[in-house]
Amino acid sequence: MKSEQDYRVRECVHRAEGAAGELYRGTAYVSQLQRLPSDAALRAAARVTPFFWADAAHINVWLCRDCAVELRLRERESDAA
Ligand SMILES: [Zn+2]
């Protein structure tokens, strides 16, 4: 079991603009990213602070609703735990 402090958080650029959103598991983010066409994946990835995909299990990604919809990420962190 890992405490929350073991997780590092990456976030999309819209958080700084005050957008509403929530945290998702890094692994879910990466797997959804890999399902997108490469051009869409590059666009989506460019909005989030980069990290090594190998570290995804230790990372939470904060996404605004628009970014989450584009990545088809509906699974809430609280439901996945
Ligand atoms: Zn966003």
In the predicted model, residues of the chain with pLDDT beneath 70 are 1-6, 75-81
**Model pLDDT, residue 5:** 60
Instruction: Report the separation in Å between the CA atom of 43 and the middle of ligand 1, taken as the mean of its atom positions.
Output: 11
Instruction: Report the separation in Å between the CA atom of 69 and the middle of ligand 1, taken as the mean of its atom positions.
Output: 10
**Model pLDDT, residue 75:** 57
Instruction: Report the separation in Å between the CA atom of 57 and the middle of ligand 1, taken as the mean of its atom positions.
Output: 21
Give, rounded to a whole angstrom, the gap between the first and last alpha carbons of the chain: 11
Provide the 3-class DSSP secondary structure of residue 74.
Answer: coil
For residue range 51-62, list pLDDT tens digits in order.
Answer: 998 999 999 999
Instruction: Report the separation in Å between the CA atom of 76 and the middle of ligand 1, taken as the mean of its atom positions.
Output: 16
Instruction: Report the separation in Å between the CA atom of 37 and the middle of ligand 1, taken as the mean of its atom positions.
Output: 18
User: How, if at all, do strands 21-25 and 59-64 pair?
Assistant: antiparallel
pTM: 0.81
